[in-house]
Structure 1
Amino acid sequence: MRSIRGRLTLSLSLVVVVIVLGFAAIGAVAVPSILLNRDTDRLTAAGDRVLTSLRLSGGVTIDLDVLQNFVANDIGVVLLAGDEAVATSGLPAEDVAEIVAEAGPEISRASSPYLTERIDVEGLGLAYADNGRSSEVTAVVLGMRSAPRDITTTLVVTALVVVALATTSALIAVAAIVVGRGLRPLADMANRAERIAGGDRTLRLPVDESGDPAIARMANTVNTAFDAQEDAENRVRAFVADASHELRTPLTAAHGWIELYLRGGLRDEKQRDAAMLRVARQLQRLGELTDELALLARTDAGRPLLSEQVDLGTVARDVVADARIVHPARSIDIVVTGEPKVLGDGARLAQVVRNLVGNALQHTDGDVEVDVVAGDARHTIRVRDSGSGIPSEALPHIFERFWRGDSARSASGGSGLGLAIVQALVEAHDGTIRVTSVTGEGTTFEVSLAAHTPQREASGA
């Protein structure tokens, strides 16, 4: 397969050849016709002048030399008396008979290389005298040789062909140079891309903003894709490192207690019971981490969730009721406005509310409020706390996986996946989540989900 440079050069060359040679062909066809029309017009004009002059000077004896100068030096003249040529000027004697035979009142090209025209002057009383003999002139035949026109045509056509070939060769060379220069940025980009694919992730494609905008746009787009890929790879590496660390911690703790038991360090039954309880807690934490990681993996893979009608008010009330049992000393209020029903996975939406409420209870000591507001197009869930708030520099990171807030949020050893799971589940339901926080006043998480109206759906069906 030819390279793109070869294909473009070939295509441009073919276009140039067709255009240039096409014009040359048109010129080669048009030039003979133009020259023929020019000679025909000259012969017609000469015939008109001869006829007008002879009519005005009727009854005279024609002077052939004067008549020859009158018509033009390259136009021959034959005087006829009946069908007999009585005088000739500017024409070879051997061609006269054929010229006379072919000539007619309309200009025609005789079988010999002449344009001819016959002018009838019978009745004008014209005569021609030669050697004491006078003959009545009844017609004048004009003849123009085609040889000069043919020579001119040959020269012009030859010049057209030579110029066309030279022009075509020059334009093909220019096309090759232009295509080569035009594709040079692409070649540089390809070389740079090969180095990036070879492992040098710090490189990017060269961008020439002063060059072709399309190539510059493509380079910028590819560079953006490389940046996104590098960012994704960095995130994956960080995620794997964080996940390994989080999984290793409970495993190490459990392994330590088991190792202590195997070495006989837990001789007392109470010590063994306490050790097994600690091992069970670490294994429980390990299971929870595994479930959370599996849930994130499923949402990242875009696996479909259940699609059923869910009452967000009922979901929120159940979560708050459970939270009050677990945290009886904390103030947890809930307000539900309207009938906020959506299409989604009830268990996962409950997990969203549970994680937000649990996050507020775990990281703050203040009151917690849950508001569920029904709207025409979208329903909103707001979880507020009256804690110390989140520092502004930390807000962009709170949905990152394994990120933990500073001591201002009183972090107590969570996995760092709770809010990441919330964001993943909300986005899986085509919803949005945002957070606002004021230091010293508290934090608000707001989830927005599309409303579901069964009556409208039914009427639309």
Structure 2
Amino acid sequence: MSIRLRLTLWYSGLLAATLLVFGISLYVFMNWNTYADVKSQLKSTSDSLGFTLITQNGQLRSIDLNWESRSQLASIQEKQMYLQLNNYEDGYITRSPNLMQLDDLIIPYPDAKSNPVDGFFTKNVTIGKEKYKMITYQKAIPYKGKLIGIFQVGTFTFNEDKQMSGLRTILIFLSVAVVLIAFTVGLLIARQALRPIERVITATRQIEKGSDLSVRIPEGGPQDEIGTLVDTLNKMLSRLERAYNELDDAYKVQRRFVSDASHELRTPLTTIRGNIDLLEKMWSQAKLESGSGAAAASALPLSSEHFGISTEAISDISAETKRMSTLVNDLLALARADAGYVMEKELLQLRALTEDVARRAALLPRNAEWKVGDLSKLDHVAVYGNHDYVQQLLFIFIENAFKYTPSGHVELSSVRREGHVGWMVRDTGIGMNPDEIPHIFNRFYRADESRGVTVGTGLGLSIAKWILDEHGGSVEVTTLEQAGTTFIIWLPIDFSPRSNSSIMGGTDLDED
């Protein structure tokens, strides 16, 4: 729910509550005031009339109204008041003429045994088939401590009820109308007041979706709280832009340095390795000649001890140079990844590529047995990718399996599911803790670093992850300590027409 709608609902609700309290208060006051006038007239009429008790030999015989004048009855009837005197002694009821004209109506009266008291009462009376509300004021008539009669003055409240009903309707409809109008106007006012915030949201969304931090929030409104917020955000964006540009420049310099350093290091390392290989061959040949005769010994002025030490040193240099060369190649691959290197891709037939990798993997240094499983799921399946990098991807996982499998075997097989094809590399090596899986593709992370089982830089799987991302692939990992690890590498199958024609063309060549 937006702030604009919440604000509108809040003050609309407050206005509705205020109108409700005001309406109820006004209605209660008007209701009390209207019926208070009616009750006042009823009581004054009752008080102006007296009673005549007719007795004989000390015994009550009858009750009659003590009229001050006969003209008073006409005045009372003109005010639409109705009189009724009920004699409990003989059961005789005396009524005013206007009351007798209403279908000989009798006002409901209390029983003598209920000990009625003086006061106002609301009664419902029936005239014909209609029911009407009547307010009455009754006065008990005692004689010698005994209730002998009840005198009632009543009037119908047609006009008052109609007036109060009209007032109630007016209050309800006016309150609803005022709340609706206030809600509509409030939405417009809130929208106008919060328009600068909409500009803030629009500008921040542009920054979020794009990489242009030069976007600024338009100003021009009053210098209120929102204006201060806009000014503060613009200053913050300026600082972020400067910091981002400085960081981006530093990052570009770092990438350029890594790329240049990798390129520069490859050449001397290649030269060193070539020369060391040549020296190893020369020393090996010299060693053979030194054992064949005195003439050869004079040509090689080194003792056998010195000769062995030199050979060992050259071997160590060669091994370290190879390791440095591998590290530089890995750094170069990661530098290309950071620089947004775009691979040149083509349609690849995975069966032939995989068989070539499997053949070459058998020549890698290892302690585990190398097995090649079922590769039939790769038949007549093409992917769109880079041949060299896909081969490197497979070699990374295979070499990684060899490295962490001191005994047992490493097996390569094919897998396929809807829309994807790939390989399963399964080993029976040392495995790892499943909690380490989310980190194994981070640069320089070593799952066995604390155990010191193997050596390495921790860059191989990072490069594999980059190659997979560039090909739209994914990898699944299943592992358990001392129970081996299984990597399932997925690549999307290319179903484009070019892929179909390539597969058909390859099939025709095979048949020929």
Query: Is the shorter-chain TM-score for this pair beyond 0.5, marking a shared fold?
Result: no
Structure number with greater CO (CA < 8 Å, separation at least 6) is 1
Normalised to the residue count of structure 2, the TM-score between the two structures is 0.40
Return the TM-score normalized by structure 1: 0.44
